[in-house]
Amino acid sequence: MSLELKNVSRTFSGKTVVQNISISVKPGEIIGLLGTSGCGKSTVLRAISGLDNEYDGEIDINGKKTKEVHDETGFIFQEPRLLPWLTVIENIIFGLKGKKKENLERAEQYLANVGLDDCGDLYPRQLSGGMAQRVAIARALVTSPEILLLDEPFSALDAFTKMQLQDLLLDIWNMYQSTLVLVTHDVDEALYLCDRVVILRGQPGEIVKEITIEEQRPRQRGSQDLANLKTEILESLELNTPRSLIV
């Protein structure tokens, strides 16, 4: 499913947070929105999702202009947001329409995809942070979204769990070929996962650069090619400039 943003800007109480954001995303592409805190990455993602429709500009999904929540768009937040009084399987099917038996079968399929096929009867309090985020991924996938939006989904996890879930995300992408838009402030994560990285900077946030990552998957973390791109990204963010020692 294609996605296009045309001169998207967002203002809150007279203060512009992002301005003139234009991005064209091909079906099945993984796009990273990368930038430091406060540059409006999550604001752009909420506009794409339809959770915020007060922006200026235009967002087209499959060539159709929309400002509403789209049925074929899924969202994964920074935290799992599971309902504590429901089991894992109940959290996944919560809000789904259709026959309960069919919904349960779908939920069990996606639980297996995220490696939690034996955890359906557990409650959120019985899960580790990584397990809870796997459930959140399964919940987002159960509606078969063609566009999956991810707002720093692994930022609260330890480094090793984060790497495991990054690999899981790529496995799922290989299975379903959804279009992914990932908000992150982690340069290494963006380079490991994405086909293209869109770099935002400033307040209001603006696009300062787009970088295409040519290295084929599976990528080697820390490869020289990725290291060179990391340097380029840090320079674009003005984070690689030597600073004088202040005594």
Domain range for 199:
3-80+145-236
Residue 89 inside a domain? The answer is no
Give whole-number Cα distances, 112 to 196, 215, 246, in Å.
29, 29, 54
What residues of the chain score a pLDDT lower than 70?
240-247
**Cα end-to-end span (Å), the chain:** 54
Residue 93 counted as domain residue: no
Cα 161 to Cα 196: distance, rounded to the nearest angstrom: 24
CA distances for 244 relative to 17, 241, 247, angstroms: 31, 10, 9
pLDDT score, position 14: 93
In a domain, 62, yes or no: yes
**Domain-located, residue 106:** no
Cis ω on the peptide bond leading into residue 153 (within 30° of 0)?
no
Examine residue 131 and state whether it is found in any structural domain, yes or no: no
Answer yes or no: are the C-beta atoms of 86 and 94 closer than 8 Å: yes
pTM assigned to the model: 0.93
* Total number of domains constituting the chain: 1
Domain assignment present for 103:
no
CA atoms within 13 A on the CB side of 10: 24
Q: Is residue 28 part of a domain?
A: yes
pLDDT at 244: 43
Judge whether 129 lies within some domain: no
CATH of the domain at 44: 3.40.50.300
pLDDT score recorded for residue 242: 54
Q: Give tens-digit pLDDT for 149-170.
A: 999 999 999 999 999 999 999 9
pLDDT digits (tens, 9 = 90+) for 89-117: 999 999 888 888 999 999 999 999 999 99
